[in-house]
Structure 1
Amino acid sequence: MHHSASQQQARMAPKKVSLAFALKTLFIILGVDMLVILLFTVIGDGHPFRKEIFTPWMVATSVDLYINFVALCVWIAYRESNWISSLLWIISVVFLGGIATCAYIVLQFMKLTSSQASSEDLIYYVLLRTPHKNDTRTKRKTFFVVMLRILFSILGVVMLGTLVYTLVTAGSPFRMEIFTPWMSATLIDFYVNVVALAVWVTYKEPSWICAVFWIILLICFGSIATCTYIVWKLLQIQDPAYLVLVRQAVKVTCKPEAPVCFDCLTYKFGLSWRILFIDDCTYLFNNNNVNVVIIALILKTIFIMKIII
């Protein structure tokens, strides 16, 4: 049993390393492409700080883009260990857009250790600042959750109002004269950030159907869908705001010498936590409901019996 479990982990490791490599490569390519497009647009069409560039739909697209930037900058502010690095990265995102977004994400993948890159949940290590143990700021955590709900609710309404106003005053956006060089560059920048959001949504959602549904909304409705999704996820948590970044599961910490970890079928059973079946694990649940804990213990017993048999 011990040997077969180790072989299972060994087979899974290359897959996860490949995923980390694939995502890192994806954002490198997107970042380089965005840099080339930016340089090409500056050379061919001049600088973007000209009044004639800011047509109604260019303004609406810019608002859409920067609302998505807010979501990214909130993550960066949380992710960075000090305010100086946070501020520098946020300024980079504001001025360089998708180039800085891709650079930051690639940097987070490069920081992964080999064990993290081969983890069953490698995106967890990219998204979260570590460690979270012994965090004494418990009184402020719920406050942050509420403030983020309000912030993204307001931003979503602002973008919806901007979209409706632009449609009424400037007509349909599906006209060739709207797509100036800088408008095209802005749209590409916008969708580079949508790719980053889509990776996160795919990681968060329990099924491909849900993920595809939300990604389509992100593509079609932009930051309105972004804000809706974030607020919806924030409404599902009461604890630290950073839990909105990860799946509805609390990460457990296993000792390095632990022989094998099995992810429970969390989403198959519709439960909002993860169980790792191993003696040397710290079991943590983000749901204090007694019924949930009882079901967890039943599932644990079933899995252990299957392993023994």
Structure 2
Amino acid sequence: MAEASLAIGLRTAFVVLGFLATATVIYTVVTDGLPFRKELLTPWMAATLVDFYINILATGMWIIYKESNWISSLVWMVLLICFGSITTCLYVVLQFLRLTPQESQLDPIYFVLLRNKKSPSTEEVESKKSILSVVGARFLFSVLGCLMVATLVYTIATDGSPFRQELLTPWMSATLIDFYVNVIAISVWVAYKEPSWMRSALWIILLICFGSATTCAYVALQLFRLSPQDPVHFVLFNSDSRQVHDGSKRRL
């Protein structure tokens, strides 16, 4: 019963967050015009966009794994790049709506993270989805983390502190809301992965403070806990869920 309530609660939360992100974009376009203006691209806006799109890449890699063909993967990636957290929320809500009653009662987050079932065969999909090995993914997220840290250090050195009122333009505010909606999505995953609320809270605080630098550090650490021979998508699941559901599959 608690698991079913969790599924309903998360689905509702992402519906609300999706509407919030959509309303923010519409309001900002109406009151401040389109964002494609050179004067909006200040050093801190550029740094925020780098931060934003590194998190988008992490979410996008999950979507590519989830989708059963490259056309749907490509469509969702384009939507994710163009609409950010609006797409994230829509995609997450759709995955919760696809859950069967049994999946909602057993382990809803596990089944939301798990690849969609509508695929030609497990082996064929696995071969298509194995874009990166565990070692390759470790390298990618380590490089992205270093890139984000370097971006932050460079922007602070050349443009000063980000905590200045003049930086908080309407589009910067909208971008930050978009960014932190994605942070919430990643935080739900971190809370699912971590064995204790204390560790979850620590990582979520770091996510809020340091954004995608923390995302990359966290993903890289999880990848280093996997064997190089493991499928890279194992990083999505916590150890308890993997043991329970892998055991169930073997019994079947």
The residue type equivalent to 1:241 in the other structure is V
**CA contact 2:96–2:108 (8 Å) conserved in 1:** no
Q: 7, 10, 16: which one pairs with 2:3?
A: 16
The CA deviation at 1:115 is 0.4
Matched, 1:123 2:91: no
Q: Secondary structure at the match of 1:81?
A: coil
The CA deviation at 1:251 is 4.5
Q: Distance in 2 between matches of 1:26 and 1:142?
A: 32
Name the residue aligned to 1:214: 203
The CA deviation at 1:135 is 3.4
The residue type equivalent to 1:123 in the other structure is I
Task: Report Cα offsets for 1:263-284 as digits up to 9, x if no partner.
Answer: xxxxxxxxxxx878xxxx7369
Task: Work out the percentage of aligned pairs sharing the same amino acid.
Answer: 51
The CA deviation at 1:215 is 0.3
Q: 148, 157, 165: which one pairs with 2:146?
A: 157
Q: Distance in 2 between matches of 1:127 and 1:252?
A: 15
Task: Report Cα offsets for 1:82-131 as digits up to 9, x if no partner.
Answer: 11111111110100011000000000000000000111x22110001156
Higher helix content, 1 or 2 = 2
Unpaired runs of 5+ residues, structure 2, are none
TM superposition score normalised by structure 2: 0.91
* Structure 1 pair 58–142 and aligned structure 2 pair: CA distance change class (3 A): closer
Q: Distance in 1 between matches of 2:19 and 2:224?
A: 37
The residue type equivalent to 2:236 in the other structure is L
Q: Distance in 2 between matches of 1:77 and 1:176?
A: 39
The residue type equivalent to 2:134 in the other structure is V
Name the residue aligned to 1:26: 13
Name the residue aligned to 1:135: 123
The residue type equivalent to 2:187 in the other structure is A
Mapping of 1:97-116 within 5 angstroms? 97-116=84-103
The CA deviation at 1:25 is 0.4
The residue type equivalent to 2:163 in the other structure is F
TM superposition score normalised by structure 1: 0.75
Q: Distance in 2 between matches of 1:35 and 1:130?
A: 26
Name the residue aligned to 1:4: none
Q: Relative contact order (alpha carbons < 8 A, sep ≥ 6): 1 or 2 greater?
A: 2
**CA contact 1:65–1:190 (8 Å) conserved in 2:** yes
Matched, 1:53 2:40: yes
Query: Which consecutive aligned stretches of 4+ in structure 1 deviate over 4 angstroms post-superposition?
Result: 130-134, 140-143
Task: Report Cα offsets for 1:25-44 as digits up to 9, x if no partner.
Answer: 00000000110100000011
Larger Rg: 1
Name the residue aligned to 2:234: 243
* Structure 1 pair 143–15 and aligned structure 2 pair: CA distance change class (3 A): closer
* Structure 1 pair 130–183 and aligned structure 2 pair: CA distance change class (3 A): closer
**CA contact 1:34–1:188 (8 Å) conserved in 2:** yes
**CA contact 2:3–2:105 (8 Å) conserved in 1:** yes
Q: Distance in 2 between matches of 1:251 and 1:20?
A: 21
The CA deviation at 1:144 is 1.7
Q: 162, 169, 185: which one pairs with 1:173?
A: 162
Query: How many correspondences in the alignment?
Result: 245
Q: Distance in 1 between matches of 2:40 and 2:105?
A: 47
Matched, 1:67 2:35: no
* Structure 1 pair 77–66 and aligned structure 2 pair: CA distance change class (3 A): same
Q: 4, 7, 26: which one pairs with 1:39?
A: 26
The CA deviation at 1:15 is 1.7
Q: Distance in 2 between matches of 1:151 and 1:81?
A: 23
Name the residue aligned to 1:82: 69
Q: Distance in 2 between matches of 1:135 and 1:209?
A: 38
Q: Secondary structure at the match of 1:213?
A: helix
